[in-house]
């Protein structure tokens, strides 16, 4: 079926990004780790090293995935898979797919998050496992994740061909696009183990929280104290991730889950890019205990928390509006809306409501602005000696600008004239008056 290729970039963009991601991302992850941990967080120092030693230099610093690294990944992955299956949770339905399939989930993310963090800190507190070991083997862990996740993506590709879990699956007719963008929208193992919930939420997002705590503990063990910069960074990242798990069932209605198929793009990204790049500001701070002072630290913290709240409120507003069929209050008033009809791939006519007031009346993807600002707030405790702690913010900005365009294109082909009406009413994409 052609649906997979219809909703994504052109073939040329797909090939270019596929080849770039496959060839550049693995060395980038290793070089990022090397720069943060062994080169004072300095791109220049790493660049000088590579200039002197060339490809052999890259080979020399590339850690071999050790047994300890594989063990850490396996124990963490198995623990998260167990929690996903075993913890109780409310039955939740995802949005109806283009083929009329409604995925059913068990909403136990917040419980899994709490159990994970309590277990991890408890293991450290009672002297059973020292999280500093994870930091000390970080390069080997990333190196193992690079390889392991690639093999996992091959498994997803084969599963999509041989044993798809639902009707929301199919080939675009092109091996590379199938591997890169994925074959299945809702791959599962058995009836209830949802693979995308595992890769995106329980492995990717959870590893972000676990590594944030790891960096804090490592700094504490090295210096006997945690710097205020590290505290601000960790608190903001943990609040953001807590918000994510609080709202996890809402995430199951977003593009990542309801539109992007399980392939290299999303799964490799969540399994490798999230633990390495998303955690990188904290990774930098381990060796750079910047002292901010109470006033600055509290100011950054307050602005960061406000951004996380606004981002959450945008998502909440949209979901509340859709859940109540527009019968809710938005900023104290009845919402203004567009009743948009569209045709499914089966030829049925359906309607969706588009909110045109509140945050969604400021710009069509306003929620990305506080998301980017929040990321800036947990990066800025590193101050301005090096660029690398800001790499995540720069990457996120590019990702979200691209995502806003992808989403606009998808909604435009779904809602046609109704989307045009929305664009006329709300002309800006992310920043009102600017873009």
Which residues sit at the interface with ligand NDP, rule CB under 6 A? 254-256, 311, 315, 318, 352, 354-355, 360, 367-368, 371, 396, 403, 407, 411, 414
- Of the two residues 228 and 371, which places its CB atom closer to ligand NDP in the complex? 371
8 Å CB contact between 115 and 83:
yes
Q: Tokens 């090096």 appear where? A: 386
Residue 245 in tokens: 């798990």
- Of the two residues 50 and 401, which places its CB atom closer to ligand NDP in the complex? 401
Exposure of 116 by Cβ count < 10 A (0-12 exposed, 13-18 middle, 19+ buried)?
buried
Q: Which residues contact 188 (CB under 8 A, 6 or more apart)?
A: 165, 166, 194, 195
Q: In the bound complex, which residue of the shown chain has the CB atom lying closest to ligand NDP?
A: 254
CA-nearest of 89, 93, 27, 94 to 54 is: 27
β pairing state of 337-343 and 349-355:
antiparallel
- Of the two residues 27 and 326, which places its CB atom closer to ligand NDP in the complex? 326
- Of the two residues 8 and 354, which places its CB atom closer to ligand NDP in the complex? 354
* Shortest CB 374 distance to ligand NDP, Å: 9
* Shortest CB 255 distance to ligand NDP, Å: 4
CA-nearest of 68, 61, 1, 73 to 30 is: 61
Helix, strand, or coil here: 125?
helix
* Shortest CB 85 distance to ligand NDP, Å: 25
**b/e map of 143-182 (b: 16 or more CB within 10 Å)?**
bbbbebbeebbeebbebbeeebbeebbbbbeeeebbbbbb
- Of the two residues 157 and 378, which places its CB atom closer to ligand NDP in the complex? 378
* Shortest CB 399 distance to ligand NDP, Å: 6
- Of the two residues 144 and 340, which places its CB atom closer to ligand NDP in the complex? 340
8 Å CB contact between 254 and 400:
no
* Shortest CB 161 distance to ligand NDP, Å: 27
CA distance 121 to 124: 5
What are residue 187's phi and psi, to 5 degrees?
-70, 140
* Shortest CB 236 distance to ligand NDP, Å: 13
- Of the two residues 106 and 318, which places its CB atom closer to ligand NDP in the complex? 318
* Shortest CB 411 distance to ligand NDP, Å: 5
């Amino acid at each position: 079926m052609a649906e997979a290729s219809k909703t994504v970039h052109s073939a040329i963009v797909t090939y270019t990004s596929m080849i770039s991601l496959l060839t550049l991302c693995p060395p980038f992850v290793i070089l990022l780790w090397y720069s943060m941990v062994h080169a004072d967080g300095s791109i220049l120092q790493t660049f000088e090293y590579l200039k002197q030693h060339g490809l052999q230099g890259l080979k020399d610093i590339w850690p071999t995935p050790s047994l300890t690294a594989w063990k850490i990944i396996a124990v963490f992955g198995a623990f998260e898979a167990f929690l996903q299956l075993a913890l109780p949770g409310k039955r939740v339905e995802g949005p109806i797919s283009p083929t009329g399939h409604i995925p059913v989930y068990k909403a136990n993310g917040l419980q899994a998050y709490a159990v994970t963090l309590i277990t991890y800190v408890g293991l450290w507190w009672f002297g059973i496992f020292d999280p500093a070991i994870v930091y000390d083997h970080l390069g080997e862990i990333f190196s193992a994740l690079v390889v392991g996740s690639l093999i996992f993506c091959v498994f997803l590709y084969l599963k999509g061909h041989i044993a798809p879990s639902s009707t929301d699956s199919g080939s675009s007719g092109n091996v590379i696009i199938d591997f890169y963008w994925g074959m299945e929208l809702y791959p599962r193992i058995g009836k209830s183990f949802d693979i995308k919930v595992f890769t995106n939420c329980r492995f990717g997002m959870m590893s972000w929280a676990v590594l944030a705590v790891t960096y804090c503990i490592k700094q504490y063990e090295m210096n006997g104290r945690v710097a205020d910069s590290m505290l601000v960074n960790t608190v903001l990242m943990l609040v953001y991730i807590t918000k994510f798990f609080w709202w996890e069932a809402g995430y199951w209605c977003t593009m990542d889950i309801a539109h992007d198929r399980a392939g290299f793009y999303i799964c490799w990204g969540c399994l490798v890019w999230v633990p390495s790049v998303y955690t990188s500001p904290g990774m930098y701070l381990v060796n750079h205990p910047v002292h901010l002072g109470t006033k600055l630290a509290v100011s950054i913290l307050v602005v960061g928390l406000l951004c996380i709240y606004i981002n959450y409120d945008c998502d909440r507003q949209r979901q509340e509006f859709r859940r109540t069929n527009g019968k809710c209050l938005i900023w104290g008033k009845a919402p203004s809306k567009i009743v948009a009809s569209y045709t499914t791939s089966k030829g049925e006519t359906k309607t969706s409501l588009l909110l045109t007031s509140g945050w969604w009346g400021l710009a069509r993807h306003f929620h990305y602005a506080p998301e980017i600002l929040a990321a800036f707030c947990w990066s800025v405790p590193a101050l301005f000696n090096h660029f690398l702690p800001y790499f995540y913010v720069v990457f996120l900005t590019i990702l979200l600008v691209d995502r806003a365009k992808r989403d606009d294109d998808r909604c435009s082909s779904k809602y046609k004239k109704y989307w045009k009406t929305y664009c006329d009413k709300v002309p800006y994409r992310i920043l009102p008056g600017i873009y």
